[in-house]
Chain A
Amino acid sequence: MSAPALHVDNLRVQYGSLIAVDGVSFSAEAGTITAVLGPNGAGKTSTIEVCEGYRQRSGGEVRVLGLDPGASQRKLAERMGVMLQEGGVYPSARVIDVIGLFCALYGGREDPQQLLERVGLTERARSTWRRMSGGERQRLSLALALSARPDIAFLDEPTAGVDVDGRALIRSILRELADRGCCVVLATHELAEAERVADRAVVFDRGRLIASGSLDELRGTQRSIRFRLPGGTTAPDLAALAVPYRVEGDTVIVEDASNATTAALMAILDAHGIEPVDLRAGQSSLEDTFRRLTGGGHPGDEPS
């Protein structure tokens, strides 16, 4: 069996007295898409920046394509695609010039015009970064990562600020990359996107890795009940169910769908005279799992 494309073993990252990453271990295989999930300050970005060679680790071992990114960053850069969460592009340079530059830096493995077409920016070739929308900037950043024709790609929030069509395009590009054998590692706060595109996920919380596996493994056998409250009613107290639950607007999610919980829930609703709307029971979503694992923490909007 070949070595994983990315192997992180007992990684520690410390800034002064602050321990940002504490003994994290996971791996990612070639040809797969791994989502790195976690709330703010969980240690995701610190971990990824160590893997990219941007940041020195305080302890542990990291191997990216068999290389130590701290010692062999230059060598690794030849085979690595990177997409920063924001920026990374000359604001006054034209799109075609930036893509042309990056293609040249990687020895002309990709054709700039074809890359432009692939990310849907042909019409914007003569525009500049500062005149582009958030979604267009994301697509340009992705094109720069693709210019390496990478064996491993670290992508930070690739779909942030991207419209529906753009998201579908980016998902298809990521899948193509993985199908070509690239190990795709994406950090994202958008759990629904992660659920649609990733094969596996690792979940960080407070500098530690609290779960990893395929999405089905992470969701496990956990099932939940969802229903909406009829207009004008407020959610009853469901503490008596003795299982986690939450109310999001007019939607109530109970993270257990056993017969006993279902019966108890219906009894409480009946006692309050509430007719649940759109009542469904099924496998927990990644978001349900994430909330359960992180104690209700939200993935948030800022990098950690």
Chain B
Amino acid sequence: MKPLIAQLRTELLLVLRNGEQLLLTLGIPVLLLVFFSLVDVLPTGGEADAVNFLAPGILALAVMSTAMVSLGIGTGFERGYKVLKRLGATPLGRGRLLMAKIAAVVAVEVLQFAVLIPVAYALDWSPGRTNWFAAVGAVALGTIAFGGIGLLIAGRLRAEVNLGAQNGLYLVLLLLGGMIIPFAELPEFLRAVARVLPSGALADLTREALGGDGDRPGLSWIVLASWALVSPLAASRLFRWE
């Protein structure tokens, strides 16, 4: 087996063996989508409007869960347990290790969409005007942006602190990111912040691509592209391997 394939296989095995990660990447998005589509407690309009609003936002949440939190927490513990250091002394090299991690993130995202999209349709999601090309582009940019943020935090903090930081940030970005709560419902000063967050930009773009209901897609492309440029750059400069 080639080193890259062997490392990718290990990354995927670890995700499958780790119940918390599966809960975070699959369980919570499915739960949020189903619960808030059926229980009319969020200010998203009626039942049909709820799933139409929620589905694109939950897809964005799935990307954030995998590319930032799952990747960041896993990498933080690998750093703490000196796995990264040990792998650094093998022929794998950092480049192929990173490629394996990216491929694992993409594979998990494909699995998430394969579950979430049918669930959304089962809940009567009717996106209307769709641009899957734009959706894939937004997801790709979001993956890069969130991956950079996750690795940046994982590469600077101790494993346990990193765990808390990733989960805390996940909650903040979820609540302020327009994923389950519309921008319009946020106080004005928070709305301005939310628009420049990667979660806000990604949710806005998936909502625009899958239903044409984006808020300010032009701004969101700029914001998300900026995060996708800056966060991996910062991670590559500031990441500490041990």
List the interface of chain A (C-beta within 8 A of B): 52-54, 73-74, 77-78, 80, 82, 84, 86-93, 97-98, 100-102, 104-108, 144, 148
CA A123 to CA B218, docked complex, whole Å: 59
Residues of B within 8 A of A91 (CB): 77, 81
Given contacts A93-B13, A104-B1, contact A88 B86 (CB under 8 A): yes
Q: Kindly state the separation between the CA atoms of A105 and B85 in the bound complex, as whole angstroms.
A: 15
CB-defined contacts of B81 to chain A, threshold 8 Å: 87-91
> Which chain A residues border B91 with CB–CB below 8 Å?
74, 77-78, 105-107
Q: Are A90 and B3 in contact (CB under 8 A)?
A: no
B89 within 8 A of A: yes
For the complex of A and B, list the 7 residue pairs with the smallest distance between their C-beta atoms, beginning with the closest: A88-B86, A104-B6, A87-B82, A82-B89, A104-B1, A87-B81, A105-B90
| Chain B residues positioned under 8 Å from A89 (CB to CB) | 81, 83, 86
A80 CB to closest chain B CB (Å) equals 7
Supplied contacts A52-B89, A90-B83, A102-B90, 18 more A-B pairs, CB within 8 Å:
A54-B89, A74-B91, A74-B93, A78-B91, A80-B89, A87-B83, A88-B81, A88-B86, A91-B81, A98-B10, A100-B6, A101-B9, A105-B6, A105-B90, A105-B92, A107-B91, A108-B1, A148-B90
Do A82 and B1 touch across chains, with their CB atoms under 8 A apart?
no
In the bound complex, CA of A58 to CA of B156 (Å): 24
Please, how many angstroms separate the alpha-carbon atoms of A143 and B193 in the complex?
A: 52
Instruction: Give the contacts of B83-103 with A (CB-CB under 8 A).
Output: 83, 85-93
A144-B5 Cα distance, complex, nearest whole Å: 18
Q: Quick one: closest B residue to A130, CB to CB? A: B81
Chain B minimum-CB-distance residue to A154: B89
Q: Does B78 contact A (CB under 8 A)?
A: yes
Interface flag for B2 (CB, 8 Å): yes
Interface residue B14 (Cβ < 8 Å from any Cβ of A): yes
Query: Does any Cβ of A come within 8 Å of B237's Cβ?
Result: no
Chain A residues whose C-beta falls within 8 Å of the C-beta of B13 in the assembled complex: 93, 97
With A54-B88, A77-B90, A106-B90 already in contact, the answer to whether A101 and B82 are too (CB < 8 A) is no
Interface size class of B (residues with CB under 8 A): 20 to 34
With both beta carbons as reference points, the residue of chain B lying nearest to A85 in the complex is identified as B82
Q: Contacts A86-B82, A89-B83, A93-B14 given; indicate if A104 touches B89 (C-beta within 8 A).
A: no
Please determine whether A105 and B7 come into contact, CB atoms closer than 8 angstroms. yes
Q: Kindly state the separation between the CA atoms of A148 and B82 in the bound complex, as whole angstroms.
A: 18
Q: Which residues of A contact B10 (CB under 8 A)?
A: 90, 93, 97-98, 101
Chain A residue with minimal CB distance to B241?
A: A54
Q: Does B226 contact A (CB under 8 A)?
A: no
Q: Which residues of A contact B77 (CB under 8 A)?
A: 91
The reply on B18 being an interface residue by CB < 8 A is: yes
Q: Are A101 and B6 in contact (CB under 8 A)?
A: yes
Q: Which residues of A contact B87 (CB under 8 A)?
A: 105
A52 proximity list for chain B (CB < 8 A): 89
For B18, give its contact among A53, A92, A98 (CB under 8 Å). Answer: A92
Contacts of B6 in A (CB 8 A): 100-101, 104-105
Q: Chain A residues near B88 (CB, 8 Å)?
A: 54
**Nearest CB of chain B from residue A153's CB, rounded to whole Å:** 11
Q: Are B89 and A77 in contact (CB under 8 A)?
A: yes
Q: How far is the CA of A87 from the CA of B1 in the complex (A)?
A: 25
Residue of B nearest to A88 (CB): B86
* A102 to B91 Cα, complex, angstroms: 10
Chain B residues with CB below 8 A from A74, complex form? 91, 93
Which one of A53, A93, A98 has the highest number of Cβ atoms from chain B below 10 Å of its Cβ? A93
On chain B, the residues within 8 Å of A88 by CB distance are 81-83, 85-86
Nearest chain B CB to A223 CB, angstrom units: 42
A131 vs B85: C-alpha distance in the bound complex, in angstroms?
Answer: 21
Closest to A52 in B: B89
Output the least CB separation between A272 and chain B (Å): 53
One of B3, B17, B82, B85 near A104 (C-beta < 8 A): B3
Task: Give the docked Cα–Cα distance between A107 and B5 (Å).
Answer: 12
Q: List residues 56-113 of chain B with CB under 8 A from any CB of chain A.
A: 77-78, 80-83, 85-93
Alpha-carbon distance A84/B86, docked complex (angstroms): 7
Known: A105-B3, A105-B7. A90 touches B89 (CB 8 A): no
Q: CA–CA, A91 to B1, complex, Å?
A: 23
Most buried by B among A80, A102, A104: A104
- With A97-B13, A105-B7: A87-B18 Cβ-Cβ less than 8 Å: no
| Complex interface residues of chain B between 1 and 26 (CB less than 8 A to chain A) | 1-3, 5-7, 9-10, 13-14, 17-18
**Whole-angstrom CA separation of A77 from B88 in the bound complex:** 8
Closest residue on chain B to residue A147 by CB atoms: B90
8 Å CB contact of B82 from A80, A84, A98, A105: A84
Q: Are the CB atoms of A92 and B85 closer together than 8 Å?
A: no
Q: How distant is the Cα of A287 from the Cα of B45 in the complex, in angstroms?
A: 79
Identify which of A73, A77, A101 gathers the most chain B CB atoms within 10 Å of its CB.
A101
Complexed CA–CA distance, A126 and B87 (Å): 21
Instruction: Report the bound CA distance from A89 to B82 in whole Å.
Output: 7
